[in-house]
């Protein structure tokens, strides 16, 4: 089975969006360089960010996200982001009305069932868990192996927390990656089990 990685871009004070679910300047680092990150040409990062992010993206097989993220992104128009193969959506509701049943999205009730489906779909590739409420629940359940954060130089003051509503202590190992790049600090921690 592949490793499970909780990931998001995050403000210095730990938020993945403001109170209105807007990312503000969180993703400015994705357009702050001159190295294309994907084939669209819209994302251009520094060489340091490219060397760190591109190999990571290439390892991801499946993403797990909550229904809120799915709804906020309009389901990525039925195409998993970043070239991933599948998206598992943790939800108590069925797929939206008129949703293409051939799209590689799987609507699953509960984090344990979602993680089992994601691991099955990913095989030996990575499972990326979107940070936020669902990511925090998956971390609290002991199902996350690694935490990756792209920390950007902004303070939100309030908003949607990286670890969601986690209210217990979870120990991480010392960071094994700390990279400074244009408008971002890339951090990676292994989770202590």
Q: What pLDDT score does 138 carry?
A: 96
Distance of CA 26 to the CA centre of its chain: 13
User: Nearest to residue 35, comparing CAs of 17, 53, 20, 47?
Assistant: 47
Return per-residue pLDDT of the chain as tens, 193 residues: 789 999 999 999 999 999 999 999 999 999 999 999 988 889 999 999 999 999 999 999 999 999 999 999 999 999 998 888 999 999 999 999 999 999 999 999 999 999 999 999 999 999 999 999 999 999 999 999 999 999 999 999 999 999 998 888 999 999 999 999 999 999 999 999 8
Residue 189 lies in a domain: no
Q: What pLDDT score does 176 carry?
A: 96
Residue 108 lies in a domain: yes
Q: What pLDDT score does 40 carry?
A: 84
Residue 190 lies in a domain: no
Residue 149 lies in a domain: yes
- In Å, the largest CA–CA distance within the chain is 46
Please count the structural domains in the chain. Answer: 1
Residue 191 lies in a domain: no
Q: What pLDDT score does 86 carry?
A: 96
pTM for the structure as a whole: 0.94
Task: Please return the burial class of 103, using the count of CB atoms within 10 Å of its CB with bins 0-12, 13-18 and 19+.
Answer: middle
Residue 136 lies in a domain: yes
**Domain extent at residue 62:** 4-184
What count of residues does the chain have?
Answer: 193
Q: What is the CA radius of gyration of the chain?
A: 16
Per the CB < 8 A criterion, the answer to whether 25 and 17 are in contact is no
Domain harbouring 118, CATH code: 3.40.430.10
Residue 133 lies in a domain: yes
Q: Record the tokens describing residue 122, joined without a space.
A: 């990913």
Q: What pLDDT score does 167 carry?
A: 84
Cα angle: 75, vertex 78, 79; to 5 degrees: 105
Distances in Å between the alpha carbon of 27 and those of 8, 39, 67, 102? 10, 18, 21, 30
């Amino acid at each position: 089975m592949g490793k499970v990685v909780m990931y998001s871009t995050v403000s210095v004070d730990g938020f993945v969006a403001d109170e209105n679910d807007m990312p503000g300047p969180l993703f400015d680092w994705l357009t702050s360089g001159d190295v294309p990150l994907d084939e669209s040409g819209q994302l251009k990062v520094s060489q340091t960010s490219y060397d760190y992010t591109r190999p990571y993206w290439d390892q991801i097989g499946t993403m797990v996200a909550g229904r809120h993220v799915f709804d906020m992104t309009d389901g990525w128009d039925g195409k998993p982001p970043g070239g991933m193969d599948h998206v598992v959506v943790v939800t108590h509701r069925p797929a939206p009305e008129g949703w293409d049943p051939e799209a590689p999205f799987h609507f699953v009730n509960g984090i344990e069932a979602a993680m089992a489906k994601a691991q099955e779909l990913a095989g030996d590739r990575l499972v990326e868990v979107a940070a936020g409420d669902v990511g925090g629940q998956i971390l609290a359940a002991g199902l996350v192996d690694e935490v990756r954060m792209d920390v950007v130089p902004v303070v939100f003051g309030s908003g949607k927390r990286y670890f969601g509503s986690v209210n217990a202590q979870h120990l991480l190992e010392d960071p094994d990656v700390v990279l400074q790049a244009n408008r971002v600090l890339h951090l990676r921690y292994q989770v202590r089990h």
